[in-house]
């Protein structure tokens, strides 16, 4: 990695505030860049945003249907250990066992 004194600060746009977008923005800011994150939804979190809305046309036959972008359901637990999902300098800090997973609502609080 080049020293921070040799890196020219840039204005950077990050598209999407899901997990990858938030990490990208965090690391770019850490390197001294000016970052703006663009998100089309009203909340950050990407696929971790929970909604109880479902598509009226689950087979996607109707081209005028309202599309619901969510992979999260009410009782979802992650299938990854919390150590894979947290930042070292910003740990999740739950007192549960690592392999049990994290409820989606707790992940949203973590952001």
Q: What is the pLDDT of residue 98?
A: 46
Q: Tens of pLDDT along 11-29? A: 999 999 988 999 999 999 9
* Lookup result for tokens 């973590």: 110
Q: What is the mean pLDDT of residues 88-101?
A: 61
Is the distance from CB of 34 to CB of 11 less than 8 angstroms? yes
Looking at residue 99, its pLDDT comes to: 44
pLDDT in tens, 32-75: 999 999 998 888 888 878 778 777 887 889 988 887 777 777 77
Of how many residues is the chain composed? 111
pTM score, two decimals?
A: 0.62
Measuring CA to CA, how many Å separate 25 from each of 15, 28, 33, 38, 75? 10, 5, 9, 11, 30
- Count CB atoms within 10 A of the CB of residue 78: 16
Residue position matching structure tokens 């923005």: 25
Report helix, strand and coil shares of the chain as percent, to nearest 5.
30, 15, 60
* Beta carbons within 8 Å of 110's beta carbon, 6+ residues apart: 86, 92
- CB–CB of 67/55 below 8 Å? yes
């Amino acid at each position: 990695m080049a020293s921070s004194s040799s890196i020219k600060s840039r204005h950077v746009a990050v598209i999407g505030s899901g997990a990858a977008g938030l990490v990208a923005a965090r690391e770019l800011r850490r390197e001294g860049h000016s970052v703006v994150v663009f998100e089309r939804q009203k909340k950050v979190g990407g696929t971790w945003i929970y909604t109880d809305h479902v598509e009226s046309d689950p087979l996607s036959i109707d081209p005028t249907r309202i599309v619901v972008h969510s992979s999260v359901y009410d009782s979802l637990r992650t299938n990854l250990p919390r150590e894979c999902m947290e930042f070292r300098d910003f740990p999740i800090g739950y007192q549960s066992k690592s392999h049990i997973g994290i409820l989606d609502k707790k992940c949203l609080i973590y952001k």
